[in-house]
């Protein structure tokens, strides 16, 4: 005989991101509690939000336990970062009043407050039972209606998904093995005086999605993009974060030899979803909605026009999907494109390497573009002043942002192709690194990463991710309007596979908009 379900909350739970999205949605009924209503960030929540947070915390706790993360502190940190938390209640203040002073009036006030709290508890029980019964009846009716699949419920679910599932975020996450090894993420530099390990150390970070973005040129992305605040640019997505490695054994070992604790890891950016919301009917010329965002065969996809730049410390990595020529061969993307080169005669490095080197020699006799990536190792204490002079020279000469970005990279020569010469000066075309596959944009290995040890080694790594629609890319066409693409950044141990992060992205994190 099948055992009947006893409690309403034992219904099958949804995926975690569903509860996160519902918890962010302020629409719903007021809480039944007359006082002490549940709040988050001092904002009173709806009944639906309270339910979503409770169920989301259960799903998160279960998933973290399955991954071997059992510490309550880790759970609280992750739940807080995902918005699955309630404000703490200050219920101890009557006792503080009681013990504060020997003032009779204060003691009377404290006693009255305690009695009021006890009497209110009875009201809590009544409210809880009422809320429990209401939730049970609502669930029963929902299951009953779902069984018959009424048209109303189908329309309601469609409307709900359309309204609330467009809040997905660009996710940066550590694998469970990396977390256990001692790695942690932060939006703040670890040596920032305001950094607080308890509140700022995370296993996962989330960037607000950028929607309705126009097509832009890489020339519009400033060379100081890794110094911009996160989520402040409307034309493209830019997000900066930091990663460090902590090893308790290394902290206790006073020998000073940290190389024995060095570890390797991999990171990669994956495309987890993309599609088009509309397409143009070739007969009528009108836009038509697509089912599930599926792209018709042969039509350009958003990933064909999306460019990705990762600044790993000072190394600039530029990535784009390759073109396919008439013979089916993959051709790396370049900027400016061949069409622009032929029609407008424009090339990056508009002052050329040779021209720039002449200017740098006036700053310091043996200074060249190859020194810019690591001034400190060559010039020591003079590095800061030389760097300021270089920036002033670049500003005066109008050296383009892309040139200044790429010269920060040690292997910059591998990313350029000579496309012409004038007055004995060469002119260059920027070569983008090809996407690894349709799902994997870029991946890298980091070797011999040392642990962070106060006073002996304070090493951490900085990453900036920039994602935009490159208007000079031939694949950036009007058909991409209302398209979407979602990506995530994963840091994992060697040999691990890329997997869904703790929050499985369900919807696009970047939408294409505007015209080419």
pLDDT in tens, 95-121: 555 455 556 666 666 667 666 666 565
Percent of the chain's residues with pLDDT above 70: 71
Asked if residue 125 has pLDDT above 70, the reply is no
**Sheet order of strands, 334-335 included:** 334-335, 425-431, 416-422
Q: Looking at residues 50-77, what average pLDDT do you find?
A: 82
Residue whose entry in the numeric block shows the structure tokens 């809590």: 124
Higher pLDDT, 15 or 434: 434
pLDDT for 171: 84
- Domain-by-domain residue ranges, the chain? 8-164, 168-329+433-516, 334-431
- The pLDDT value recorded for residue 137 is 57
Output DSSP code: residue 220.
G
| pLDDT of 7 strictly over 50 | no
Name the residue among 334, 318, 337 with its Cα closest to residue 441: 318
> Rounded to whole angstroms, how far apart are CA atoms 107 and 124?
25
Q: What is the CA radius of gyration of the chain?
A: 28
Would you mind telling me the total number of residues written for the chain in this entry?
A: 516
Q: How are beta strands 263-276 and 483-493 bridged, if at all? A: antiparallel
Q: What pLDDT is recorded for position 440? A: 92
Per residue in 473-505, is it b (16+ CB within 10 Å) or e — as a string?
Answer: bebbbebbbbbbbbbbbbbbbeeeebeebbbeb
Query: Half-sphere exposure of residue 347, counting CA atoms within 13 Å on the CB side?
Result: 20
**pLDDT higher than threshold 60 for residue 189:** yes
Q: When comparing pLDDT for 293 and 113, which is higher?
A: 113
Among candidates 422, 362, 351, which has minimal Cα distance to 389? 362
CA-based nearest residue to 104, from 112, 92, 116: 112
pLDDT digits (tens, 9 = 90+) for 444-489: 999 999 999 988 889 999 999 999 988 877 777 777 777 778 889 9
pLDDT at 195 over 60: yes
The answer to whether 486 and 213 are in contact (CB under 8 A) is no
Question: Across all residues in the chain, what is the average pLDDT?
Answer: 77
The bridge status of strand 461-470 relative to strand 306-312 is: antiparallel
pLDDT band at 398 (very low <50, low <70, confident <90, very high): confident
Q: Token digits for 94?
A: 């009557």
**Is beta strand 278-280 parallel, antiparallel or unpaired with respect to 210-213?**
unpaired
CA–CA gap between residue 35 and residue 438 (Å, rounded):
53
């Amino acid at each position: 005989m099948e055992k009947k379900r006893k409690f309403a909350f034992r219904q099958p739970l949804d995926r975690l991101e569903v509860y996160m999205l519902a918890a962010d949605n302020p629409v719903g009924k007021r809480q039944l509690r007359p006082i002490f209503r549940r709040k988050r960030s001092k904002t009173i929540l709806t009944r639906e939000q309270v339910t979503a947070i409770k169920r989301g915390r259960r799903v998160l706790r279960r998933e973290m336990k399955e991954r071997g993360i059992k510490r309550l502190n880790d759970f609280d940190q992750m739940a807080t970062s995902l918005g699955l938390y309630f404000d703490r209640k200050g219920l101890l203040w009557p006792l503080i009043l009681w013990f504060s002073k020997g003032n009779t009036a204060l003691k009377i006030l404290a006693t009255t407050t305690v009695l009021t709290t006890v009497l209110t508890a009875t009201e809590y029980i009544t409210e809880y039972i009422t809320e429990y019964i209401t939730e049970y009846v609502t669930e029963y009716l929902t299951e009953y209606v779902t069984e018959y699949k009424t048209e109303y419920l189908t329309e309601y679910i469609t409307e709900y998904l359309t309204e609330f599932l467009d809040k997905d975020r660009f996710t940066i996450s550590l694998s469970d093995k990396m977390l256990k090894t001692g790695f942690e993420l932060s939006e703040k530099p670890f040596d920032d005086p305001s950094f607080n390990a308890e509140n700022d150390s995370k296993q996962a970070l989330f960037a607000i999605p950028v929607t309705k973005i126009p097509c832009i040129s890489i020339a519009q992305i400033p060379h100081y993009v890794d110094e911009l605040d996160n989520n402040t640019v409307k034309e493209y997505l830019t997000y900066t974060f930091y990663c460090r490695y902590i090893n308790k054994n290394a902290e206790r070992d006073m020998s000073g030899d940290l190389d024995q604790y060095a570890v390797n890891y991999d990171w990669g950016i994956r495309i987890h979803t993309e599609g088009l919301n509309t397409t143009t009917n070739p007969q009528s010329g009108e836009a038509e909605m697509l089912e599930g965002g599926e792209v018709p065969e042969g039509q350009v996809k958003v990933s064909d026009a999306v460019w990705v730049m990762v600044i790993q410390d000072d190394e600039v990595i530029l990535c784009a999907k390759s073109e396919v020529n008439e013979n089916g061969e993959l051709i790396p993307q370049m900027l400016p494109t061949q069409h622009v080169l032929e029609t407008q005669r424009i090339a990056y490095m508009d002052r050329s390497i040779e021209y720039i080197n002449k200017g740098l020699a006036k700053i310091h006799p043996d200074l060249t573009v190859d020194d810019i990536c690591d001034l400190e190792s060559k010039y020591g204490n003079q590095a800061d002043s030389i760097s300021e002079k270089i920036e002033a020279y670049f500003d005066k000469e109008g050296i383009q942002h892309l040139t200044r970005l790429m010269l920060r990279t040690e292997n910059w020569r591998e990313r350029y192709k000579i496309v012409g010469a004038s007055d004995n000066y060469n002119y260059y075309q920027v070569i983008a690194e090809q996407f690894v596959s349709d799902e994997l944009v870029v991946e890298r290995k980091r070797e011999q990463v040392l642990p962070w040890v106060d006073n002996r080694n304070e090493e951490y790594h900085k990453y900036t991710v920039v994602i935009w629609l490159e208007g000079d890319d031939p694949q950036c066409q009007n058909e991409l309007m209302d398209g979407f693409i979602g990506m995530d950044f994963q840091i994992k141990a060697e040999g691990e596979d890329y997997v869904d992060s703790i929050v499985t992205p369900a919807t696009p994190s970047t939408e294409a908009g505007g015209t080419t």
